Amino acid sequence: MGDKTPKKEERGSDEVIRTLFLSGLPPDVKDRELYILFRPFDGYESSQVQLTSRSPHPVGFAVFVDQASALIARDALN
């Protein structure tokens, strides 16, 4: 019984990261703009903009089906 989610230290380093963190976004960026930016990339699943209390600039996240897809998108946009 209880929470069966593995704790961070139990998950180990074999967990694959497939999310891109986006900073330096303009203050008026919209979720749809991230969608339009990332949708052409194979493996794109979703994206979102979040406001933080630490900065007037929002941050974003783009999620892909696997790490390889995320890295291809990252490299193409950098």
This prediction has a pTM of: 0.78
Q: Do the domain assignments include residue 12?
A: no
Q: Do the domain assignments include residue 43?
A: yes
Q: Do the domain assignments include residue 34?
A: yes
Range of the domain at 32: 18-77
Q: Do the domain assignments include residue 70?
A: yes
- pLDDT string in tens for the chain (78-residue length): 455 545 445 555 567 899 999 999 999 999 999 999 999 999 999 999 999 888 888 999 999 999 999 999 999 998
Phi and psi at 22, nearest 5°, equal: -115, 120
> For the chain, how many structural domains are there in total?
1
Q: What is the CATH number of the domain that holds 57?
A: 3.30.70.330
